[in-house]
A and B are shown apart, each in its own frame.
Chain A
Amino acid sequence: MDKTVNQKAWFLVLPVFLVVAFSAVIPLMTVVNYSMQDTFGNNQFFWNGVGWFKELLDPSTDLGERFFASLWRNLIFSAIILAIEIPLGIVVALSMPREGWTVAVCLVILALPLLIPFNVVGTIWQIFGRPDIGLLGYTLNSLGIPYNYVSNELDAWATVIVMDVWHWTSLVALLCYAGLKSIPDAYYQAAQIDGASRWAVFRAIQLPKMNRVLLIAVLLRFMDSFMIYTEPFVVTGGGPGNSTTFISIELVKIALGQFDLGKAAALSLVYNLIILIVCWVFYTVMTNAGAERPQKEGAV
């Protein structure tokens, strides 16, 4: 589909540009401004150049150590939840009923966790997991498995991961389901005539058809898990110790807790830069996949 060149289209885009620029560019300038300065309160600022960045990227300083520790924790967290949620989402999508009223029921229940405010997700798991009043914590402990997410690092991690799986696997499942729905029946009939096994159908028909949505799922899940703040904050508060302090939590601690504006701003910029790079990969891959897509999907 070739688009016509029309510079007047800018007028249509202008409102979006203004609204987003107001919310994105001005704050970003503030951040850049802060990141170069030091303050001792009273709104007095002193030029600090790239000092904060040097400190941030040097693991031997306190700030650098905290940054790299939370960065690693966040990357490990993202890797674990991707490794669980993607296969599980595919399996759930393949298990969806084909037709009838059960489809609607399944879709609504699947989407339910996605629409719960992040802090309530945290609250739900806090209440569910507590050893004294929570069903999960109580059951595990009475089965003889010691479980306490408040004091045990491993339990805290397990809780945060299971919570994320609970919260977001549906997204992967819904995306895969949408991909599966777009496969015409003729493909399956052809496979049946060829006597293809169940596994062959999956490998040769379903997986290639889900490629695109899986890509979106992986990237969305990576980005969102990389920015995760509210849910672990409500459940564990970043603890025990610092064991579940992810980058966002560390950043908010520095910025709004200690009001260390310079350090927080430098961390923000580096954090944003990482996101921007991943985003660029996402965009490039998406647009390339879009170019290969045949123009056949009609109006919905």
Chain B
Amino acid sequence: MGTIPGRRIIISLFLIFLLLPIYWLVNMSFKTNSEIVSTMTLWPHQPTIENYMRIFTDESWYSGYINSLKYVVINTVISISVALPAAYAFSRYRFLGDKHLFFWLLSNRMAPAAVFALPFFNLYSAIGLFDTPWAVALAHCIFNVPLAVWILEGFVSSVPREIDETAFLDGYSFPRFFIKILVPLIASGIGVAAFFCFMFSWVELLLARTLTSVDAKPISAVMTRTVSAAGMDWGLLAAAGALTIIPGALVIWFVRNYIARGFALGRV
């Protein structure tokens, strides 16, 4: 059914291509620095977990992970809760300027972060949020809220309109209908949207680094510390990098069947 010759070889080669650099990173993270620099070994000959131990015991390291998770979670909660009603409105109603608003949201999803880095710095310094997770969380809303609206709109549109009408005829008020009926119906869509908010906030670096200095420093900024006068601490850098892959790899398993639909902004 619609496959091509040699498909097993092609897909295997491609998956190996994807996994090889990741393997190399993990491989490095279990090596000592002397082994990394002096010899070329395909697997760690003197495996060590010292690099990981340093990250888990040094507060300036592990607080980086906590800081990152903080703003990612705040951002996901804000994005989903404001996007849900809007997705419903866009899906069901026509109102003044709806198309323009939808386009404006999309254009913000596509706006380059580099353009906003400096104004954000000024804005959040002025209102006293600089160097807090809130600054990064709010800044990330600029691309995550539009994304959540787009994904959720697709899911809400696949709920038949008759369900709304029946609920209202049965005497449901709007908020009650929303929470009791609509939200459970599009639960998988909310999951997908939350996953994508989580992901895009987690992978973003430029804004997160610009808007924090000491207290709320994200892990991606902490990682730049591995460059010291004595040269690069490759093992430590690799271990820190390997740890950042884990949250994504964990959540991916739960949404594996919806990944493609989410990337298509809910429109496959």
Binding site for B on A (CB under 8 A): 1, 3-10, 12-13, 15-17, 19-20, 22-24, 26-28, 30-31, 88, 91-92, 94-98, 104, 106-120, 123-125, 127-128, 132-136, 138, 166, 169-171, 174-175, 177-180, 182-183, 185, 188, 198, 201, 205-206, 212-213, 216, 220, 223, 226-227, 229-230, 247-249, 251-252, 255-256, 261, 264, 268, 271-272, 275-276, 278-280, 282-283, 286, 290, 297-300
Contacts and interface: CB of A to CB of B under 8 A. Distances in A.
A95 B2 contact: no
Contacts, number: 312
B182 to A, nearest CB: 12
A94 B1 CA distance: 10
Interface residues of B, number: 109
Given A109-B15, A112-B252, A178 B85 contact: no
B4 A7 contact: no
B97 to A, nearest CB: 9
Interface string B207-220: 00010000000011
B142 A95 contact: no
A108 B155 CA distance: 22
Contacts of A251: 112, 114-115
Nearest to A277: B107
A282 B106 contact: yes
Interface string B252-264: 1100111111011
Contacts of A227: 110, 112-114
B122 interface: yes
Given A94-B2, A185-B1, A300-B188, A19 B95 contact: no
A105 B123 CA distance: 44
Contacts of A88: 14
Contacts of A226: 112
Contacts of A223: 110
Contacts of B169: none
A16 B82 contact: yes
Interface of B: 1-8, 10-11, 14-15, 17-22, 24-25, 28, 36-37, 40, 42, 78, 81-83, 85-86, 88-96, 98, 101-108, 110-120, 122-123, 138-139, 141-142, 145-146, 149, 155, 157-159, 161, 185, 188-189, 199, 202-206, 210, 219-220, 223, 234, 237-238, 241, 244-245, 248-249, 251-253, 256-261, 263-265, 267-268
A92 B11 CA distance: 6
Residue from B104, B258, B260 having most chain A Cβ neighbours under 10 A = B260
- Across chains A and B, which 10 residue pairs bring their CB atoms closest together, nearest first? A115-B248, A27-B119, A178-B260, A95-B7, A12-B89, A9-B93, A12-B85, A227-B112, A9-B89, A248-B114
B4 A95 contact: yes
A6 B94 contact: yes
Given A13-B101, A20-B145, A124-B21, A272 B244 contact: no
Contacts of B103: 279-280, 283
